[in-house]
């Protein structure tokens, strides 16, 4: 698809708006439908679209494999870190109420960071799954 000029132009125009929608889903998740999982899948889908339209190597330059693997680990660490922070502040694991002097704000803060961790992990996993399928049958060093 690298030679299809219309597809390339439309993708370049379309991708930023889809990423913006992923951010909307992420930040609106605590108030309505959506959240980390949905936002992570939407963000990963835009990068997969980029790889399909512009080629796997162009996508790899944009988001290297090492970054994708770091995303998978970082998201889990963010999620677990919120739980451990709750323990360190005298609450239970993933007890959000202790994360702020006002329990409601603590709840909001905890849910936000857990959803960020979920979004980062889901996005990384989706990109890794795509990369594994896209690269199968090819010989790679490393």
Q: What is the pLDDT of residues 73-108, one digit of tens each?
A: 999 999 999 999 989 998 899 888 888 888 888 888
Query: Would you say residue 2 has pLDDT above 80?
Result: no
Average per-residue pLDDT for the chain = 89
Look at residue 140 and tell me whether its pLDDT is greater than 60: no
Tokens for 117? 């961790």
**Is residue 3 within 8 Å of residue 85, measured between CB atoms?**
no
User: With bands split at pLDDT 50, 70 and 90, how would you rate the model's confidence at 127?
Assistant: very high
Instruction: Give the integer Cα–Cα distance in Å for 90 and 71.
Output: 29
The pLDDT of residue 46: 96
DSSP result, 31-75: TSS--HHHHHHHHHHHHHHHHHHH-HHHHHHHS-HHHHHHHHHHH
Radius of gyration of the chain (CA): 18
Return the minimum-mean-pLDDT range out of 8-12, 81-85, 104-108, 128-132. 104-108
Q: Domain map of the chain by residue range? A: 2-139
Task: Give the tokens for residue 106.
Answer: 């603590």
* pLDDT value for 30: 65
């Amino acid at each position: 698809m690298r030679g299809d000029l219309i597809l390339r132009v439309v993708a370049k125009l379309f991708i930023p708006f889809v990423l913006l929608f992923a951010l909307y889903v992420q930040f609106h998740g605590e108030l309505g439908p959506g959240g980390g999982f949905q936002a992570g899948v939407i963000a990963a889908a835009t990068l997969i679209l980029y790889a399909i339209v512009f080629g796997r190597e162009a996508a790899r330059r944009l988001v290297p494999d090492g970054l994708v693997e770091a995303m998978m680990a970082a998201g889990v660490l963010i999620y677990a870190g919120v739980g451990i922070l709750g323990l360190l502040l005298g609450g239970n694991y993933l007890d959000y109420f202790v994360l702020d002097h006002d329990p409601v704000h603590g709840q909001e803060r905890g849910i936000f960071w857990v959803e960020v961790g979920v979004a980062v992990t889901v996005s990384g996993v989706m990109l890794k799954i795509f990369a594994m399928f896209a690269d199968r049958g090819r010989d790679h060093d490393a």
